[in-house]
Homo-oligomer: A and B are copies of this chain.
Amino acid sequence: MTEPAPEASGSGDPQQPSKNALKKAQKEKEKAEKKAAAKARELAERQKKEADDAADVSVDAYGELPLIGSKDFQPTGTPRVDLSDLEKLEDKEVTFRCWVENARVQSAKLAFLNLRQGLNTVQAVVAASDKLSKQMVKFCGNVSTESTLAVTGMVKRVKEPIKSASIKDFEIHITKLFIEVKAEVPLPLQVEDAERPLPSEGLGDEDEKQAESSDARPLVGLNTRLNNRTLDLRAKINHAIFVIKSGVCTLFQEFLSQKGFVLIHTPKILGAASEGGANVFELKYFDRPAYLAQSPQFYKQMLIASRFQKVMEIGPVFRAENSNTARHLTEFTGLDMEMEFEENYHEVMSVLEDLMLFIFKELNTRYKKETELVRSAYHVDEFKLPESGKVPRIPFMEGIKMLREAGEELGDYDDLTTPQEKHLGRLVLEKYNSDFYVLDQFPLAIRPAYTMPSPANPLLSNSYDMFMRGQEILSGAQRIHNADLLADMMRKHDPPVDPNGPGTKDYVECFRYGCPPHGGGGFGLERIVQFWLGLPNIRMCSLFPRDPQRVIP
């Protein structure tokens, strides 16, 4: 038996159908009607979409790209430009990679975007026309902040300089815009908040507060920034800090290479805690303990004993000091040098002074833009250098005298406290008009055991510190290059050091075989950057800072 066709039921057929058959037929009918309606809707939608697409003249000019490097994405081979070159490309069509600082729809026909690439930002306009659809305007004006884009557009000169962008005289008239990588919303930290100065020099979240400025955005504390460091680091001010940090390294190497220094890499894992044993991190080295190097001191001297003559190192330095201040890190970058000298350790000091003068000079030219960007945010004074080009080289005793005359109470052979150092910095600036200077001939008792005593006074030593804006950036000295004298001074030191210990024996013994007289010093790279820029906290100069409370991220 075959079921009557649905179209037959409800016809004028005189035969009475069964109740069941009637119900069934009714259902079938409803089903068919639904199906037809769905079909009609689908068709209507397809037709509308086709009409929309037909109307969207820009359908191939915008959208979100598939994951690059996976699936079947084909390279276009279109050359991409650097925004730094934009001024040379007036009225040209350019394509470039950038990311979105912000995007806003002005009207159905107009949207604006602020686009960034490195330290450059540029304004872009998307305007509907017969060649550019309203759909595209809407899409572009709604791109999420921090998304990565491939943008094509015309470089156009503007009449009024654009305040909100670093490129002031040109804007981009967008013709194509593709999202390469979309940023999720919301961001845990707004990059524009990371651009603003820290509310204090401390870490404290208690410092987070409403800004007093008119836009009333919150001032975000350092801890929040560091917890979201990959977003924080996107701020231009942070890019600038680390471009300068990279620059200081490059300049350090450039200057010293030119003078014949060899770049070395000394071990960071030590079999014994060599320099006293305090403040050293211990690790498990297979079945024995080992220690992280607190400095390359012993090794760079051993290389002078190996007749390397002049060595430099850039590497991590580890200090297990439980200091939670704005100027301490448990891991920082040491810029170290050591050299033999002919007759007098002042030869070494001259190299160090010339090195720093070179770095300052080149920072002022090669990294002028970055320096100004950071200093202006923190309202920091220019870094003053003596006009004569002669770095003030002040005997420690003279420094003590200057401080006493200014009212400080301290003994002849006392070490300076941090406030006293800063006070002396102000006095030196007044007297010599220089933010950079050297203290020479420190008291022997407050220096390491390997420091050469002074020929002038046995209570002093051939040692020196360098200062920027009243804060120490380098500690250095002539080292004892005679094994017997060194062992003797180690035993007499307070606290005493065993010259036959597992971490000291190889070091002391290497001076038995004709090691030349030598000296050197170690800079804290983060400190040079911090004081050059006048920043309130050293953590700002470390990409992922380490302190007693922080080892993540």
List A residues at the B interface (Cβ < 8 Å): 67-73, 75-77, 80, 97, 99-100, 116, 118, 144, 146-148, 150, 180-184, 187, 229-231, 233-234, 238-239, 242-243, 245-246, 249-250, 253, 257, 262-272, 281-286, 288, 290, 292, 299, 302-303, 305-309, 314-316, 318, 320, 322, 330-331, 333, 340, 342-345, 452-453, 455, 462, 478, 481-482, 485, 502-503, 506-507, 510, 512-517, 525, 542-546, 548, 551-553
> Which are the 5 A-B pairs with shortest beta-carbon distances?
A271-B551, A183-B514, A506-B553, A283-B283, A233-B306
Query: Measured between alpha carbons, how far is A22 from B118 in the docked complex, in Å?
Result: 109
What are 9 contact pairs spanning A and B, CB under 8 A?
A: A68-B481, A72-B455, A76-B343, A77-B343, A230-B306, A230-B513, A233-B303, A267-B544, A283-B283
Query: Measured between alpha carbons, how far is A281 from B234 in the docked complex, in Å?
Result: 31
Among candidates B286, B331, B512, B516, residue contacting A269 with C-beta atoms closer than 8 Å: B331
How close is A116's CB to chain B, nearest CB, in angstroms? 8
Chain B residue contacts of A286, Cβ below 8 A? 320, 322, 548
Q: Are A181 and B514 in contact (CB under 8 A)?
A: yes
Q: Are A344 and B75 in contact (CB under 8 A)?
A: yes
Chain B residue contacts of A455, Cβ below 8 A? 69-73
Among candidates B100, B272, B452, B506, residue contacting A70 with C-beta atoms closer than 8 Å: B452
Given A262-B242, A265-B316, A281–B272 Cβ distance below 8 Å?
no
Chain B residue contacts of A246, Cβ below 8 A? 262-264
Q: Are B265 and A268 in contact (CB under 8 A)?
A: no
Query: Measured between alpha carbons, how far is A343 from B290 in the docked complex, in Å?
Result: 46
Q: Are A181 and B262 in contact (CB under 8 A)?
A: no
Measured CB to CB, the nearest residue on chain B to A80 is B342
Chain B residue contacts of A315, Cβ below 8 A? 315-316
Chain B residue contacts of A542, Cβ below 8 A? 265, 267
How close is A303's CB to chain B, nearest CB, in angstroms? 7
Given A290-B551, A512-B183, A75–B343 Cβ distance below 8 Å?
yes
Chain B residue contacts of A272, Cβ below 8 A? 552
Chain B residue contacts of A249, Cβ below 8 A? 263
Chain B residue contacts of A242, Cβ below 8 A? 262, 264, 308
Chain B residue contacts of A257, Cβ below 8 A? 250
Measured CB to CB, the nearest residue on chain B to A264 is B543
Among candidates B187, B231, B282, residue contacting A284 with C-beta atoms closer than 8 Å: B282
Q: Are B234 and A517 in contact (CB under 8 A)?
A: no
How close is A235's CB to chain B, nearest CB, in angstroms? 9
Measured CB to CB, the nearest residue on chain B to A261 is B246
Chain B residue contacts of A266, Cβ below 8 A? 543-544
Given A268-B268, A269-B330, A515–B148 Cβ distance below 8 Å?
yes
Chain B residue contacts of A316, Cβ below 8 A? 265, 268, 315-316
Query: Measured between alpha carbons, how far is A206 from B230 in the docked complex, in Å?
Result: 53
How close is A7's CB to chain B, nearest CB, in angstroms? 51
Chain B residue contacts of A331, Cβ below 8 A? 267-269
How close is A67's CB to chain B, nearest CB, in angstroms? 6
How close is A374's CB to chain B, nearest CB, in angstroms? 15
Given A148-B516, A286-B320, A308–B239 Cβ distance below 8 Å?
yes
